[in-house]
Structure 1
Amino acid sequence: MDSEAAGGAALVEMAGISKAYGGVRAVSGVDFTVREGEVHALLGENGAGKSTLMKVLSGEVGGYDGEIRVSGEPVHFTRPVDAQRAGIAMIHQELDLVPALSVAENVFLGKELKTRYGVVDRGRMLSETGELLDRAGVDLDPRRPIEQLRTGEQQLVTIAKALSLDARILIMDEPTSALSSHEVEQLFTVIAELRRGGAGIVYISHRMDEIGQVADRATVLRNGSVVAEFDARAMTAAQASEAMVGRPVHLMFRTEAEPDSAHLSDEPDGDDLLRIEDLVVRHKRPRPGRRDPAGISLRVRRGEIVGLAGLLGAGRTELLETLFGVGAGKPTGGRILLDGEEVAPSGPRQAIKLGIAFVPEDRRIAGLSLEHSVLANTVLSIVERIARLGAVPRAKERALATETTERLGVKLASLASPVGSLSGGNQQKVVLGRNLLTEPSLLLLDEPTRGVDVGAKAEIYRLLGETASRGVGVLLASSEPAELIGVCDRVIVLQDGRSVQEIDTASVSEADLLAASMGEGAVSEELGERS
């Protein structure tokens, strides 16, 4: 990190920025500056005002009070293209890609390259997209449709798309939330190159360990106002978390004084809730970027939380989808046993009847109907169960939704509010609450805290602890080693669709777990060698 970065000239100066929606102030009197060659971290809980402030800067939101200067000149943006012309680009956490179009078509969408005859120059677009992908450290065919890419790969495409704008001020909103550790390192290399070129970067992240690695300064928002500023290189995660939430935060629900449910490993196999034996799944058509189970064995006991670790493309999501009956793949080898009975869910409805619930990775696409109310989203999975003669008792529906949202601590104006109006953390609580209403015996979670702030993350961990304490088995896929170690009793490491190691989290470090995911050494028994 360049030590002189903090002394560069101001690229952006935001002074006294305030923005209200109706009678609610999203940001109030915020001052924020980004200098040449500087990475300035912007921290805060979901709903703290970070997105609103950056949408003002990127031209997506107007009608604000205060002043913005770019390189000393006053500006007022009314649309994103105005900000882009001023050298400001934003990489959104929620991907704004067109699934049916290719990578190259998405990168140049709205700014297609043309030949001298005015025809779209596809060859040049493919070539330049390839160069941008190389620069971002992405090994992808520019001709591939976006819909064939994994979430992490799509995230990297949005970064390449932002690089195509050649912006001097780049806003990155949770850019690593779906990336593997290797891809995160590559992104940090890209950021270092941009800094050396004099660009200023606003870096929004809930991953505290990243801030000290990549940022110079950190500003914390709470309830729409600046509450703290730190030297990011000296800031601790505890300091940042307490500033964000307004109180000390303990992220993990287990403590040293609590019994670790790993003791269940000494109990007989008959206690297994879920047992997977050498599972192999095949699709009729190949799926680029996907890794179907190719020999996975594991077990989950009642009241136990088992983690799934592995690099992007290791097969974690595909395993969970198979267990829930989505993804259209069919087991061609091995067995799935639930409560000792062999099962092969053909779809979500059957999986739910078997007592399986699934919280998917992308809550906005696969987990929620954003335009519908919190109430409708909360009770969606149990409508058939509570219906009488084809009609849903409204009073019961409301009572269940109220009880669930209150128990999970969902912050909302009303049950009638569109679920898309909630913060990311509260949306995730709605997805979790809806699944818990099905009263599952097995809960599957794919990146349950992706893009979730530290306060909501602590709440989700607490809820998982309570769920496991009621005897529910939990299988949790995560790309965060700290999360897997802090939350899970055991972790199964996947590589290339195969389970290669089982790790006791009581005796492993984050570095060990990451090394195991990368295939750089065994830190516990190989699967199959357990007594």
Structure 2
Amino acid sequence: MDEPVLEVVEVSKEFPGVRALDRVSFRLRPGEVHALVGENGAGKSTLIKVLTGVHRPDGGRLLRDGRPVVFGTPIQAQRAGISTIYQEVNLVPLMSIAQNVFLGREPRGPLGLISRSRMHAMAADLLAGYGVTEDVRRPLGSLGVGAQQMVALARAVSVDARVVIMDEPTSSLEPREVETLFEVIGRLHRQGIAILYVSHRLDELYRICDRVTVLRDGKLVHTGPLADLDRLALVSMMLGREIGDVRDHGVTGFGEDGHAAAETLLRAEDLVSRHRLAGVSVTVRAGEIVGLAGLLGSGRSETARAIFGALPLDSGAVVLAGKTVRTGSTSAAISAGMAMLAEDRKADGIIPNLSVRENIVLAALPRLSRYGLVSRAKQDKIVDIFVERLRIKISSPEQKVSELSGGNQQKVLLARWLCTRPTVMLLDEPTRGIDVGAKAEVRKLIDELAAEGMGVLLISSDMEELIEGADRLMVLRDGAIVGDLRGDQVTEGNVLAALAHHEGDADE
């Protein structure tokens, strides 16, 4: 058996308040395609950054060809033969294709000057093997995203790489480009180059990967041959659920749920967004909590963002309370009676330097203003109402929102949107990163909103939260609905079965 080209031995990494990696070990052998999988927060990104010199581990060690190594910077890792292709192309769009391929290692002539003719000839010859036939003198930014990804791959391999890390490499590729990528991976495999392949697409993993390492909550769950795991076992490991009798569950032929007679508040029809959504349709009735379940990258958040106008659509329609809402416009969605709590409250939610009062009334300012002036008395009244109703723990409405706990920050954001008197609430991970007590309070509030007749679209990576909180569950995979679970069919087993099922199962 080949000795590992790269080995991770009980590596740990901590950040303030978070143990991102907890004694993780795995081996990468020459010529193998090794899948690295896990949900959000599993530790995949941190492990990649340790391998590429962005982070130094707090414990454990790295071995390169059996010898201990320490990478203090990404350039040190690259010199050791470790290259990375990120999901977002990190090259220089205004420079030529050839310059990007050879950036920092340009071929030079006898006088030490860069030889552009040699660089162009070498780049054209190299890129031909990756399906890129454009003039290498063109700016990189003039290429499509897929072709740019191929240029990034060619550059990564051409630096005498022994290990290539691919982070979601097909997320922006067309089917033809995906096939080219897989051909390149096959060639690298035959050349003995090891590939660490990060992807949420199970079909891809089972097609090209030899082995798999599963991380969950910063810990190693499993490592071994991928052929030894069926899809259901792999999904169960990623989510931390027992397989149990899941194999006996079906995911079709469900009856009507208890909200069949209620008014349909939200109807999203055939939402299509290139590389993100493939014809997703969702309905939410008055008083109904509809959950969106799926693995990382399945299209859960993208569906909510598309409905709310924050994700451009190629086609599809959104109808709220019987009226068509202009897609691609968050202001149109808000005016129609929609509200959305974003997944990342720090990046897309709270404004940390503003007070609790200012954060709460932000979305309601147009309604509170008269001739361009905002009534402070109206602001204070609204803030008092929602601080009391949501039991937000503050010393004063003028306290900075950044000083609150995560749970109270989340309540402030909920209060902000409730100020707008929405008909439908889109909640993306409403209880992530808050303590147990705050989670219970937020869940209770969601139930109360539904009981008052509001429609709720709930996204969560917490399976228990979805099953306990949702009246109906839509299961997504690769940007498409693969399960519609209603009433008694809303079970953990049915969700896992839908996530793991694929078209070829019946023939196996």
Into which bin does the TM-score normalised by the smaller protein fall? 0.5 to 0.7
Question: Cα distance, 1:510 vs. partner?
Answer: 6.0
Q: Deviation per CA, 1:356-394, whole angstroms, max 9, x where unpaired?
A: 67999xx99xx9459976999xx9898231676477959
C-alpha change, 1:76 and 1:153, in structure 2 (3 Å) is same
Where does residue 350 of structure 1 map in the other structure? 332
- Corresponding residue for 1:259? 255
**1:252-401 alignment to 2 at 5 Å?**
255-256=251-252, 258-259=254-255, 324=309, 347-355=329-337, 368=347, 383-385=362-364, 389=375, 399=408, 401=410
Q: 2:37–2:198: 8 Å Cα contact kept in structure 1? A: yes
For residue 331 of structure 2, what is the amino acid of its counterpart? R
Q: Structure 1 pair 336/121, CA: closer, same or farther in 2 (3 Å)? A: farther
For 1:410, which of 432, 436, 439 is the aligned residue? Answer: 432
CA shift for structure 1 position 327: 7.1
| 2:220 is the counterpart of 1:188 | no
Percent of aligned pairs with the same amino acid? 33
Change (3 A) 1:355 1:85: same
Q: Corresponding residue for 2:494?
A: none
CA shift for structure 1 position 145:
4.7
Matches within 5 A, 1:22-37: 22=16, 24-37=18-31
Tell me how far 1:221 sits from its aligned partner.
2.5
Quick check: 20-29 or 110-119, which moved more? Answer: 110-119
Q: Secondary structure of the equivalent of 2:90?
A: coil
Distance, in Å, in 2 between the alignment partners of 1:123 and 1:22 is 51
Residue 61 of structure 2 corresponds to 67
In the TM superposition, 1:93-108 aligns within 5 A as: 93-98=87-92, 100-101=94-95, 103-108=97-102
Contact 2:4 2:66 in 1 (8 A): yes
2:49 alignment partner AA: K
**Worse-matched range after superposition: 107-116 or 78-87:** 107-116
17-26 vs 342-351, greater mean Cα deviation: 342-351
5+ residue gaps, structure 1: 1-6, 278-289, 292-296, 308-316, 415-432, 449-454, 490-505, 513-531
Distance 1:488 1:102 in 2: 51
**Cα distance in 2 between the residues matched to 1:53 and 1:109:** 26
How far has the Cα of 1:34 moved from its partner? 1.2
| Alpha-carbon shift at residue 79 of structure 1 (Å) | 0.8
- Give the TM-score taking structure 2 as reference length: 0.60
Instruction: Please list every run of 5 or more consecutive structure 2 residues that lacks an aligned counterpart in the other structure.
Output: 293-301, 369-373, 388-393, 415-426, 437-445, 487-497
- Alignment length, in residue pairs? 417
2:216 pairs with 216, 222, 234, which one?
A: 222
Q: CA RMSD in A?
A: 5.9
Residue aligning to 1:160: 154
Match of 2:84 in 1: 90
Contact 2:100 2:140 in 1 (8 A): no
CA apart distance, 1:75:
1.8
SS where residue 154 of structure 2 aligns? helix
User: Which residue does 2:141 correspond to in 1?
Assistant: 146
The 8 Å contact of residues 8 and 37 in structure 1, kept in 2 or not, is answered as no
Superposition deviation, residue 194 in structure 1: 0.5
* Alpha-carbon distance between aligned partners in 1 of 2:110 and 2:250, rounded to the nearest angstrom: 65
- Between 1:351-360 and 1:60-69, the stretch displaced more is 351-360
Deviation at 1:65, TM superposition (A): 2.8
Q: Name the SS for the 2:482 alignment partner.
A: helix
Deviations 1:455-495 (A, max 9, x none): 839689879x95988xxxx9x9x8827x4333699xxxxxx
Q: What is the TM-score normalised by the length of structure 1?
A: 0.58
